[in-house]
Structure formats: structure tokens, C-alpha cells
Amino acid sequence: MNDRLYIFDTTLRDGEQSPGASMTKDEKLRIARQLEKLGVDVIEAGFAAASPGDADAIKAIAEAITNSTVCSLARANERDIRAAGEAIKPARYGRIHTFIATSPIHMEKKLRMTPDQVVEAAVKAVKLAREYTEDVEFSAEDAVRSDMDFLVRVFDAVIEAGAKTINVPDTVGYSIPALWGERMKTLIARVKGADKVVWSTHCHNDLGMAVANSLAAVMNGARQVECTINGLGERAGNASLEEIVMAVRTRKDVFNCDSKIDATQIVPASKLVSTITGYPVQPNKAIVGANAFAHESGIHQDGVLKHRETYEIMRAEDVGWHANRLTLGKLSGRAAFKSKLGELGIVLETEEALNTAFARFKDLADKKREIFDEDLQALVSDEGYAAEHERFKLVSMKVCSETGETPQASLVFTDDGVERRADGFGSGPVDAAFKALESVVSSGADLLLYSVNNITSGTDSQGEVTVRLAKDGRVVNGQGADTDIVVASAKAYLHALNKLDAKLERAHPQV
């Protein structure tokens, strides 16, 4: 037996519930395109009823994506289901994912509903969702703390009402693998019509066991795993997609199933999500951490050189590391540039956008000898950020940094096309640049996060900077990339200001 394991990615919904990770519509679209390339079966694109911005982003993703199912979350009520149904309408394959809590604590204290009312609402929701699509998923929120007999009753009823996927969430990350596997096995054995639906698991990582619990569910019959890129998600996050996919693939002998994920797209997906959300990937993170395939000890290095499999259970290139082949050089033309972007799945909507990106590529090729796929991704992302809304734009800057002297920055930028100049001092060149900008713009925003990542290796690598600003309860991430990290920082700061100005970030889905 070698079953299909469905991968349901919820980076754009549960992942977006991470503090500060809310994304603009364009950012969500960029990630959705990469998820489609990665081959995920279902993209949970958002929670349509949360805000018009959320619904709009889901609609845009439903229009753009053709190979993955596009899904919206909906609570078990009419308003949510209708909003979800409308948002997924343009999708080639669309799903509504409706949920209601089933644990005593949630029913009593949060919903203030009796168990009978919960069953009734769940059935009604599934029936209404079926008016929009045949592909309806039902989740019993907080299934981990729900009574088993009650779960069986709810699942019997929603299957009868037309649900095609039954999701069992460990909403609070409370389970342990043996118990979670047992719970899945019991449900599949006891629920009527269990063989007519796909059983799914959705685990949170509060005790660091989201992946282990999900895999235990798979070993006991679950055939859909809900997960996110880099394990992003509410609180400690969700099960990480890359770990689930590679565990199942590497240990086919144990799992008897596999996904259709193109694993070579895992590292690019991880980098894209990290860049857009500003959540860095820890170096020792399995699969996608910078050290995941680095052998440090002499004994290990010796072993790997003699026979790779002495210490390696997976190949770095199979998950997308080192796939960053040298792509283009200084002498490459516009046609080669365009075709390379096509290979990378990057779509530039207009000729003007292509021309601007090409000019920036030439600029970069002057500064950096070797240009890799990741450089092109960053360059085009930078272009994308600019295209969204660009009140402020960096023209030029100069920084002075000398031992024993206070660093100083002078910048020229445009504000709605009008050139302005900013000067400032700081504890370092980046601090000086931000203080200079703030002295002119006076946004009053709080800086919540500043992070720099190198896009490729080497000191000539582009630095990619994320700046997270908060103002009046809104949190935005700004990004900038350049071979000069102080320039990248100034671009990121201005990008964040542009987002605050344009109100590009949607309200947090749970607000």
C-alpha cells in the first residue's frame, strides 16, 4: 500500500495569525504562487469573514491558482459561510473549511452553547457550505480536549450532512504522539462513514510536538496534514510542512504514504515566507535551517567525504539547497532575464515592471560578480514592494562611520515625488539612518523588529532587511534588499512607512 498524503498548507491563515506576520494581498499572492509550485494540495488562503481585505485576498488567490485547491476558513454560522463561499467562487477547485469548538471548556465558556446546539450548528454549516462547493471540510476545534463520544456524534452528523474532510485539531498543542495516534485510530474505527472521508490532523506546537503528533496521526490513518511553511502559526506555531513532508518521504518504510510535494521547492518557499513575514529561520531548524546539512565535526566530515550516507539521511539538493545555481551574469540580455524569471515562476504583470526589474538586475550585476536565483527573487520582491504603494522612495544616501566618532547618515528621498533631505546621528549607521528619516517624516511609529539576513553566502551577498513598525494598533513589515545593508535598511524602513501610509496591511485576522 502506498497512499496519497494530502498536504493542506495554512501559512496564509493560521501562519498569518503569528504576531506581526500579517501580509498584504500581493504578499499573499506571491506566497500562494510558490505554494502551488511546491505542489501543496490545499492552500488555506484566509478567513473571508474576518475583513473585506481578507475576502479580497482569498478571491485574488482563487483567481490566480489553478493547480491547488483554494480554501477559506469559516466559523459555523451563515455570515461566515456565505463570505467564504463568495471568496472561493473564482477558484478552479474551491473548499470551505468550517469549524466549531467541541470541548466542554470551549462550548461552555466561549460559545455558551449546549452540546446539542453545537451539533445543530455544525450540521447547518456543512449543509450551507455544500450549496457553494462539494468540497467541504469540518473541524472540531479543541478536539484534543473534547469528549470522545461527543466527537463521534458530531463527526457522524457532519459526514451525513456532506462533509468530505474531517479535521481533528490539537488547537492548544496539548497532546503527545501516542495519545494523538490513538485518538485518530479510535475516531476512524467508531465514526459512521469514516471510510468515505479524508481524515485530517492539525496540530499546534505549544509543547514542541506538533510534527510528532501529526505523524502519529498519519500512522493511524490520517491522510491530510495541516501545516505551515517554517512551522509559522498561532503562538508556538503549527506543524512544519517541510518536516512532515520529508519525514514521510525519508521513512516511506514506516508511513506507507507519500505527498506529491516537489521537495526542491521547499527551501525557496521557506525563504520567501521568512522574508515576507520577517520571521527568521533558526540555523539549526530541520530541513530549512542554514546548518541543516552542514557537517562540523571532523569525524562527520570524513565520513561524508568517504560515503555520503554515513551521516546524511537526505540530500540537501533534494529539498532545494544549492539549487541556487549561477543564473545570469553582467552580459545577460533582457530575453534571458525574462526567461529565467519564468523558470522561477515569477510573473511580472507589465512591460514597465519587467524593464525596471531588468535595470535593477544590471545594477546588481555591476556590484556583485555572481547572481543566484535567490538574488533574482529578492530583486523582484523589492520591485513588487515598490509597486504596491510608494509615497516614500530612497534616492541616495551617505553614511559616515568611524571608530570613536558618532555615526552620521544623510539621505535623499522622495515624498510623493518631491525630493527631501534627512540628516541624523545614531549609535550605528542604521540607527543614524532611521533617526534621520524619522526626523523628517515624523511617523511616530514604534520599531518592533529589525533583522538582517544574507540572501546568498559570501560577503558580496545582498542583505535582506525586515523592519517591523507599529502605529495605532497596526503592525507592518517593511523589506529591502541591497548589497549594502545600510541601504537595504533604509529601503526597508521606507517600505514599512509606505505600508503604514497606504494602510496596505489588513487588520489582524483575529481582531
Residue 36 in the binding site for ligand KIV (CB under 6 A) = no
* Residue nearest Zn ion (C-beta atom): 14
User: Residue 91 has what DSSP assignment?
Assistant: -
Least spacing, CB of residue 100 vs ligand KIV, in Å = 9
41 binds, among ligand KIV, Zn ion, none (CB under 5 to 8 A by kind): none
Min dist. Cβ of residue 206 to ligand KIV (A) = 11
Helices (H) and strands (E) in the chain, counts: 17, 18
* Contact map string, positions 460 to 499, toward ligand KIV, x by CB under 6 A: ----------------------------------------
Residue 173 is a binding residue for ligand KIV (CB under 6 A): no
Around Cβ 394, how many Cβ atoms within 10 Å?
A: 20
Residue ranges in 4-23 that form contacts with Zn ion under rule CB under 5 A: 14
Query: What is the CA 501 to chain-centroid distance, rounded?
Result: 24
CA neighbor of 385 nearest in space, from 357, 364, 409: 357
**Measured from the CB atom, is 72 or 479 closer to ligand KIV?**
72
CB atoms within 10 A of CB 219: 18
The one of ligand KIV, Zn ion, none whose footprint includes residue 201, by CB under 5 to 8 A per kind, is none
- Give the Cα separation of 446 and 64 in Å (integer): 35
Residue among 169, 237, 407, 429 that touches ligand KIV (CB under 6 A): 169
Neighbours of 20 (CB within 10 A): 18
46 interacts with ligand KIV by CB under 6 A: no
Stretch that binds ligand KIV, among 29-37, 165-173, 248-256, 263-271 (CB under 6 A): 165-173
Answer with the entry of Zn ion, ligand KIV, none that 99 interacts with (C-beta below 5 to 8 A by kind): ligand KIV
Other residues' Cβ atoms within 10 Å of the Cβ of residue 172: 18
102, 171, 175, 275: residue in contact with ligand KIV (rule CB under 6 A) = 171
Q: Where are the beta strands (DSSP E) in 16-124?
A: 42-47, 69-75, 94-101
Nearer to ligand KIV, 27 or 141 (CB): 141
- Residues of this chain, 64-93, that bind ligand KIV according to CB under 6 A: 73
How large is the angle between the packed helices 210-219 and 177-190, nearest 10 degrees?
A: 40
> Given its phi and psi angles, is residue 404 left (phi above 0), alpha (psi -120 to 50 degrees) or beta?
left
Q: Look at residue 219 and give its three-state secondary structure.
A: helix
Backbone angles phi, psi at 504, to 5 degrees: -70, -30
Instruction: Identify the bridge partners of residue 139 per DSSP, sorted by sequence position.
Output: 99, 167
Question: In the block, which residue shows the cell 500562494?
Answer: 32
Tell me which residue of 441, 412, 437, 413 sits closest to 426, measured CA to CA.
Answer: 437
Give the shortest CB-198-to-ligand KIV separation in angstroms.
Answer: 15
Shortest Å distance, C-beta 92 to ligand KIV: 24
Q: Nearest approach, Cβ of 135 to ligand KIV (angstroms)?
A: 16
CA 273 to chain centre: 5
What end-to-end distance do the CA atoms of the chain give, in Å? 45
Give which of 264, 246, 245, 282 is closest to 322, Cα–Cα: 264
Interaction residues for ligand KIV, span 126-155 (CB under 6 A): 139, 141
Cell of 288: 530549512
Question: Near ligand KIV by CB under 6 A, which window of 166-174, 241-249, 266-274, 467-475?
Answer: 166-174
Binder of ligand KIV out of 33, 130, 202, 468 (CB under 6 A): 202
Taking CB under 5 A as the rule, does residue 141 contact Zn ion? no
One of 6, 99, 199, 434 touching ligand KIV (CB under 6 A) = 99
Q: Based on CB atoms, which residue is closest to ligand KIV, 54 or 374?
A: 54
**Which residues are near ligand KIV by CB under 6 A?**
14, 73, 99, 139, 141, 167, 169, 171, 202, 204
**Which residues are near Zn ion by CB under 5 A?**
14
